Structure 1
Amino acid sequence: MSTSGQKVVVITGASQGIGAGLVDAYRKLGHLVVATSRGIADSRDPEVVTVRGDIADPATAERVIAAGLERFGRIDTLVNNAGIFVAKPFTEYTQEDYDAVIGVNLAGFFRITQLAVEQMLRQGDGGHVVQITTSLVDHALSSVPSALASLTKGGLQSATKALAIEYADRGVRSNAVSLGIIKTPMHPESTHEALGALHPVGRMGETGDVVDAVLYLENAPFVTGEILHVDGGQSAGH
């Protein structure tokens, strides 16, 4: 059970890259953590509970929130970090591509956010939901075909604002961090120079850039409905 003063954060897509960075950062902030992904390892930290599962499956969301409540007794923040990006010309997307991207990016957001917000409202002392999206929603690039990313992550950005307004008077905040291309294990080092050149600042972002943005929002009680761009200037133009 959560001790006095300790908050509890749920982080999806938490096994590597940005998600793993967020787990470490929230622990340093003093939060208890519920971390989930398909391949996440068992935790050796008694203040981190891990749940393996596909977030596209609503049953995974049910197990994640249940595990957090069983171990820590409350949910204060949800970071919807899990996501799939498939870069293909629009006419080459397959039904399998569509199902996979919609499943993780939209269905994966939907059920766990319902459950987390429901618990925050039950607690009665507010809460925070953060979505990780992409600046391609705001500034498409001809060199990076991204219709499925725009369809799904654009939906999350709209939902972010809708949730912010729906629950503003009940203390539950909703924000998003909209990313450029970040150095994570999904991008081989051989691609870094070319990917960096897509950003006006001439480089890729670091995991720490994303973590800092999420923690800023975590500690900004007057900020809700914000789409915070962490994208090396990409959304501003080229």
Structure 2
Amino acid sequence: MSTNIKTVLITGASQGMGLDIARGFFAKGSNLVLNARNRALLEAEAERLGAPDRIAIVAGDIGDAAVGREMVRVAVARFGSVDVLVNNAGIFGPKPFLEVTEDDLQRYWRTNLKGTYFTSQAAVRQMMRQEGGSIINIGTVLIDHAMVGLPVTAPMTSKGAIHGLTVNLAAEVAPHNIRVNTVAPGIVRTPLHDPAQVDGLAGIHPLNRIGESGDITEAVLFLAENNFTTGVILPVDGGYVAARP
């Protein structure tokens, strides 16, 4: 790992991919500022990691811009820098297009898009002072390769916006040595999916298995460490976008 990855901020870090990503950076020596709505879960996972002097917790709804600002404030106060931000927090769920309500859209935009946008804004301000940093968003391959029988237009409006944000923000902040990329997973075994059914979706991937959180962590670590990659939407999808079984 690059020696400048001193402090990593991760949203949605109490379970699933976010927690695994936190474990990956922690194992490589980074300090962590972890966010999720559930403080008790965050505290329990932080205790399991050990080394409390290397972990800070900011509980709250990331759709509230003040929460992202607080993550940055705590990172600088405790550890002196904001080197990597992983915008992992997100919600997902199928619902037929004609049944989607304004409240449904607002819920996805608030957590998935607004949370990513304004937490990134707070991080970029600090990264500009440091003259460098890395932002890694979590998108989805379903933006460009939809599935018949999976009606997810509502969450995809927010995830598609994140893909667009990635490319355009990467261009805007490149002169400040800040890199912005997105990992776009296929179907990954997380609490968002029914554990009794998720393995039945393995066949949509040419590699014929469900993704695991560790697959996403490996991609996030690569993007955090590679200083010449920016503006990339990286599929981590078992070949889903490349071919159909």
User: Normalized against structure 1, the TM-score is what?
Assistant: 0.93
> Match for residue 196 of structure 1?
202
Counterpart of 2:13, as a letter, is A
Partner of 1:154: 160
Residue in 1 that maps onto 2:224: 218
Distance 1:6 1:92 in 2: 44
Q: How far is the alpha carbon of 1:91 from its aligned partner? A: 1.1
Question: How far apart, CA to CA, are the structure 1 residues paired with 2:107 and 2:65?
Answer: 14
Q: 2:14 maps to what in 1?
A: 15
Q: Alignment partner of 1:235: what SS?
A: coil
Name the aligned partner's letter for residue 59 of structure 2.
R
Say which of 68, 79, 83 aligns to 2:75.
68
2:149 pairs with 1:143: yes
Superposed displacement of residue 187, structure 1 = 2.2
Residue 94 of structure 1 and its aligned partner are, at CA, apart by: 2.2
Cα drift, residue 116 of structure 1: 0.2
User: Is 1:119 the equivalent of 2:126?
Assistant: yes
How far 1:199 moved relative to its partner?
A: 2.1
Quote the Cα distance in structure 2 between the aligned partners of 1:51 and 1:112: 12
Distance in 2 (alpha carbons) for counterparts of 1:107 and 1:189: 29
What is the aligned residue count? Answer: 234
Q: Which letter maps to 1:140?
A: A
Does the C-alpha gap of structure 1 residues 121 and 5 become closer, same or farther in structure 2, counting only changes over 3 Å?
closer
TM-score after normalising by structure 2: 0.91
Map 1:92-111; keep pairs closer than 5 Å. 92-111=99-118
Comparing 64-73 with 153-162, greater Cα deviation is found at 64-73
Question: Could you tell me whether the CA contact under 8 Å between 2:5 and 2:84 is conserved in 1?
Answer: no
Query: Shift of the alpha carbon at 1:205?
Result: 0.1
For 2:180, give the aligned amino acid: S
Would the aligned equivalents of 1:137 and 1:149 in 2 still touch at CA under 8 Å?
A: no
* Contact 2:72-2:123 at 8 Å conserved across structures: yes
* Contact persistence 1:201–1:233 (CA under 8 A): yes
Partners in 2 of 1:104 and 1:6 — Cα distance? Answer: 26
Deviation sequence 1:136-192 (CA, Å, 0-9, x none): 001011121121232111111111111111122221000000011101123232102
Confirm or deny: 8 A CA contact 1:86 1:97 kept in the other structure: no
1:40-68 residue CA offsets vs partner (Å, 9 max, x unmatched): 43233220101110001112112221111
Q: In the alignment, what sits opposite 1:133?
A: 139
Unaligned runs of 5+ in 2: none
Match of 1:177 in 2: 183
Partner amino acid, structure 1, of 2:111: V
Counterpart-to-counterpart distance in 2, 1:127 and 1:6: 9
Which whole-Å CA distance do the structure 2 matches of 1:8 and 1:157 have between them? 24
Q: Which moved more, 1:4-13 or 1:16-25?
A: 4-13
Q: Give unpaired runs (5+ residues) of structure 1.
A: none
Deviation at residue 39 of structure 1 after TM alignment:
0.8
Q: CA RMSD in A?
A: 1.5
Match of 2:95 among 88, 99, 102: 88
Deviations 1:113-150 (A, max 9, x none): 001011000112x1000000000001011121121232
